[in-house]
Amino acid sequence: MNIEPPIKIHQGNWTHLGDQASDIRRRVFIEEQAVPQEEEWDGRDPQCLHFLVYRNDHAIATARLLPDGHIGRVAVIKEERGQGVGEQLMRRIVAAASKRGDREILLDAQLHALSFYRKLGFQAFGNEFLDAGIPHRSMRLILKD
C-alpha cells in the first residue's frame, strides 16, 4: 500500500512564496500548457495572497487570491494530480477568503476542471471564453448572503 505523506499549506505574500510559486506556475502553465510568459506574469502577484502546498518540504501546488475575491493561477505539479492536493488547497483558500470577509469567490476555470470546482460548490455562469488560447468558464461560490 502506497500512502502519500501529508501535505502542508502555507499562505503569505509574493515576497516569501513567489520563488517557489513561480517555479510551479512556469512548469504547469508555460511549459505544459504553452501559456505565453507575458500572459502568465501579469504584474498582479504582489497584491495577492498566495498559497503554496508542500509535501516532504517540496513545493507541489500553488494558487493566489486577489484582493477582489478572484482565485487564480491554481496549479498542481503533474506528479501530484489526482491525489486530493487541489481540493485541500481550494478548501484552504475558501477558508481564507471567508475569514477576511469576502462575500463570494470568483474564478475562471479551464473547461476540463469544471467538475472539480463544482464538487467544491462553485457554479458556472456566463459564456465560454478563451484565456491564453484555452477554453474557460467563469465560476462563483457564494460565501455570505
C-alpha cell at 19: 520563488
Q: Where residue 59 falls among pLDDT bands split at 50, 70, 90?
A: very high
Evaluate whether residue 65 is within a structural domain. yes
Pair type for strands 123-131 and 134-142: antiparallel
Q: Where residue 125 falls among pLDDT bands split at 50, 70, 90?
A: very high
Q: How many domains does the chain have?
A: 1
CATH number of the domain residue 130 falls in? 3.40.630.30
Residues contacting residue 24 through CB under 8 Å, at least 6 positions apart: 52, 59, 60, 61, 62, 75, 76, 77
Range of the domain at 80: 7-142
Evaluate whether residue 119 is within a structural domain. yes
Cβ contact 48:14 at 8 Å: yes
Convert 68-88 to b/e letters by CB count within 10 Å (16 or more is b).
Answer: ebbbbbbbbbeebeeeebbee
pLDDT at 134 over 90: no
Question: pTM for the full model?
Answer: 0.91
Q: What is the mean pLDDT of residues 137-144?
A: 93
Q: What is the mean pLDDT of residues 68-86?
A: 93
How many beta carbons lie within 10 A of that of residue 113, not counting itself? Answer: 16
Q: What is the mean pLDDT of residues 104-108?
A: 96
Evaluate whether residue 77 is within a structural domain. yes
